[in-house]
């Protein structure tokens, strides 16, 4: 490790005073290098654990387990680009559209996980939890605080938009959040409805069009046409249990 690397490393782990007096510690360069390596890794692990805990992503299957042959239609190349976080370079967004069990939440969680690995703040939250939290803010100051909280995440993943209908007030709140994040941070949304049906999610809301416009200006829409994979697995398990039961009956 060169002298400048040791000085930079000492400052990075909070030992700027020792870095300034680097010459006094020259005989102990290897010891300092070990201290820098150990402390740097400790700081990285601590940050990773904090980001993981704050993300609320929870358990999920890695993309390696995704069955690409199951969907009737899916843009694999676009999904892989999203996992690589290319869209975040332009502060873009990803909208995953598909039915129940199509894999959109799994993909969204993998995107969020990759962002955590890269050391960036991430939050995974359901649309209902997000909007109900904002709706509960009766005071302007409290609402401003919550909007700022959600706006500051480098990646916000909003899950299951479209499974419930919301009042126009909710649409206005979501628009405010999307507008604040526009061109500043990236957002991933999973939904079971195409944009043409978002007026059924927020009936009689005038802000839906403006919200969609901001989402797609620098966004990619990934449509997944697939039957429920969870239902497929459940049916396979049921068939296995049935066969095992029949074998037991025949063996008696």
Under 8 Å between Cβ of 93 and 24? no
Could you write out the DSSP letters of every residue in 24-69? Answer: GGGGGHHHHHHHHHHHHHHHHHHHHHHHHHHH---S---GGG--TT
Q: Each residue of 82-138: pLDDT tens digit?
A: 999 999 999 999 999 999 999 999 999 999 999 999 999 999 999 999 999 999 998
* pLDDT of residue 163 exceeding 90: yes
Residue 121 in tokens: 């703040």
pLDDT band of 251, cuts 50, 70, 90: low
Could you write out the DSSP letters of every residue in 85-110? Answer: TGGGGGT-EEEEEE-TTSSHHHHHHH
Q: Each residue of 205-226: pLDDT tens digit?
A: 999 999 999 999 999 999 999 9
Which residues are CB-neighbours of 133 under 8 A, at least 6 positions away?
A: 146
The pLDDT of residue 97 = 97
* pLDDT of residue 26 exceeding 80: no
Cα 62 from Cα 167, distance rounded (Å): 35
* pLDDT of residue 64 exceeding 80: yes
pLDDT band of 33, cuts 50, 70, 90: confident
Q: What are phi and psi of 188, to 5 degrees?
A: -115, 130
Residue 112 in tokens: 């969020």
Q: Flag whether the pTM goes above 0.75.
A: yes
Cα 103 from Cα 85, distance rounded (Å): 18
Percent of residues, the chain, with pLDDT higher than 70: 91
Could you write out the DSSP letters of every residue in 111-140? Answer: HHHHHHHTT--EEEEEHHHHHHHHHT--SH
What angle, 0 to 180 degrees and rounded to 10, lies between the N-to-C axes of helices 127-135 and 140-151?
Answer: 150
Assign residue 85 a region (left: φ > 0; alpha: ψ between -120 and 50; beta: otherwise): left
């Amino acid at each position: 490790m060169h002298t400048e690397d040791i000085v930079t490393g000492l400052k990075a782990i909070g030992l700027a005073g020792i870095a300034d007096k680097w010459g006094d510690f020259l005989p102990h360069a290897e010891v300092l290098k070990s201290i820098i390596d150990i402390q740097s890794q400790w700081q990285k692990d601590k940050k990773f654990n904090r980001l993981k805990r704050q993300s609320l992503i929870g358990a999920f299957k890695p993309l390696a387990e995704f069955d690409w042959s199951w969907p009737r239609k899916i843009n694999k190349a676009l999904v892989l680009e999203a996992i690589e976080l290319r869209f975040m370079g332009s502060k873009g967004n990803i909208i995953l559209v598909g039915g129940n069990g199509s894999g959109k939440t799994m993909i969204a969680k993998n995107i969020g996980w990759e962002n955590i690995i890269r050391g960036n703040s991430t939050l995974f939250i359901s649309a209902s939890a997000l909007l109900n939290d904002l709706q509960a803010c009766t005071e302007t100051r409290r609402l401003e605080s919550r909007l700022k909280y959600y706006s500051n995440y480098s990646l916000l993943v909003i899950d299951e938009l479209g499974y419930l209908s919301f009042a126009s007030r909710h649409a206005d709140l979501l628009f405010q959040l999307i507008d604040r994040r526009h061109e500043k941070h990236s957002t991933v949304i999973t939904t079971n409805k195409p944009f043409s049906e978002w007026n059924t999610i927020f009936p009689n809301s005038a802000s839906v069009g403006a919200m969609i416009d901001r989402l797609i200006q620098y966004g990619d829409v990934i449509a997944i046409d697939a039957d429920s994979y969870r239902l497929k697995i459940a049916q396979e398990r049921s068939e296995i249990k049935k066969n095992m039961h029949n074998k037991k009956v025949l063996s008696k």
